[in-house]
Amino acid sequence: MGEQNSEALNRRIQESLQPVLPRNRDVGIGCVGAGFIMADCHLVAARQHGLNPVAICSRSGERAQEVAARHSIATVCAGVEEVACADGVEVLDVAVPPDNQADVIQRALRANPRLRGILAQKPLGRDLQEAVEIVQRCEQAGVVLAVNQNMRFDQSVRACRTLLDARVLGDPVLATIDMRAIPHWMPWQERQGWVTLRIMSIHHLDTMRYWLGEPERVFASTRPDPRTAQKFAHQDGIVLTILEFSNGARGSCWDDVWSGPSEEGAAGEIGIRWRLEGTAGLATGTIGWPDYPQRTPSTMKYSTVELGPEWHQPTWDEVWFPDAFIGPIADLLCAIEDDRLPALNGRDNLRTMAMVDACYLSASEHRAVALSEYFNLLDF
């Protein structure tokens, strides 16, 4: 019986990893931005699954031309207004720095009131207040907004959610994400004065919401990353976060972007590990992203009281970067097609943005911060 159950569960996991695609894949997508995320992730995933990017613009016209040629995009535009109004464009994929997002989205909405959807990057603006304004503008324009909070579509993260939905782990007790990795920071981060919380921690905080629901409060402790501090001043280099949930579950995210002096000559030990303990089972996993561009799938193994003491380890060939990037854009297109909200809709993402703002406040005031302190901003 146990073997049959594990086989059925593994099949369910594999099914959950397959993207749900729109019935109509000919919807024209306009692309704003031609950097790494757009060129090497969004457009790769879109072309793999037969979606239809038809126009693109970038601050660098030469870069836009290169990316258009690489991905067979017919129209290169001079700016966001031209992309929004290009022939066939119904949905915009916006991949610009967070402090440019509000302006770009507002200009697009003004230029083409007939836009049906927008996919925006995380973080949705510079802070929660700006994110609220972006959501309000899209709702007032009748445009469906989704946020590219794509770690939810990492294969191991999604597989763990499938175990939770199947109730085989019982009630969640403790979830942890432990990142020891050295990201490639973007030059625009220097003008923001922030490093890890809005760029890396936001993924892990959103994953905790995806797994465990809405936390009641957070406690965060931060310090500068010694390596990045040589380039510009910041406070949120290394970030340690504890999350408390009303059902008794606890979560922690250890985001260590220093990871030891490996770039300075010492040996390195790089990786991202996660663990979710329940009353009836345990799941552990790794995130393959730090090995990019090497294709290293994320992993998961699990054991449950019902199935016995053995470990079960489903496997897959897909990787987070770029394969999982089909998830947010496909879900947006399906949501428009089915007249529903996407899973990563703008209003939902405000709760993740509130967690990030709460972490900044917690770290600066050295106290636990209740998410209810932000409910007034979310009530509109």
Return the CATH fold of 18-148+338-345. Answer: Rossmann fold (3.40.50)
pLDDT of residue 37: 96
- The mean pLDDT value for 203-220 works out to 98
Task: Delimit the CATH 3.40.50.720 region(s) of the chain.
Answer: 18-148+338-345
- The mean pLDDT value for 64-80 works out to 98
Dihedral sign computed on CA atoms, order 40, 41, 46, 49: positive
| pLDDT over threshold 60, residue 92 | yes
CA distances from 199 to 149, 175, 257, 291 (A): 11, 20, 11, 18
CATH number, span 152-320+350-373: 3.30.360.10
Beta partners for residue 28, in sequence order:
52, 89
Q: How many helices (H) and strands (E) does the chain have?
A: 14, 15
Report d(CA 63, CA 42) in Å as an integer: 16
* pLDDT > 70 fraction of the chain, expressed in percent and rounded: 99
pLDDT of residue 1: 39
pLDDT of residue 124: 98
Residues 322-370 pLDDT 10s: 999 999 999 999 999 999 999 999 999 999 999 999 999 999 999 999 9
Indicate the pLDDT class of residue 42, thresholds 50, 70 and 90: very high
pLDDT of residue 5: 85
pLDDT of residue 213: 98
Mind spelling out the 3-state secondary structure of 13-68? HHHHCCCCCCCCCCCEEEEECCCHHHHHHHHHHHHHCCCEEEEEECCCHHHHHHHH
- The mean pLDDT value for 209-232 works out to 97
Angle at 17 between CA 50 and CA 338, to 5 degrees: 60
Query: 3-class DSSP state for residue 201?
Result: helix
- The mean pLDDT value for 265-288 works out to 97
- The mean pLDDT value for 371-380 works out to 94
pLDDT of residue 6: 85
Task: Delimit the CATH 3.30.360.10 region(s) of the chain.
Answer: 152-320+350-373
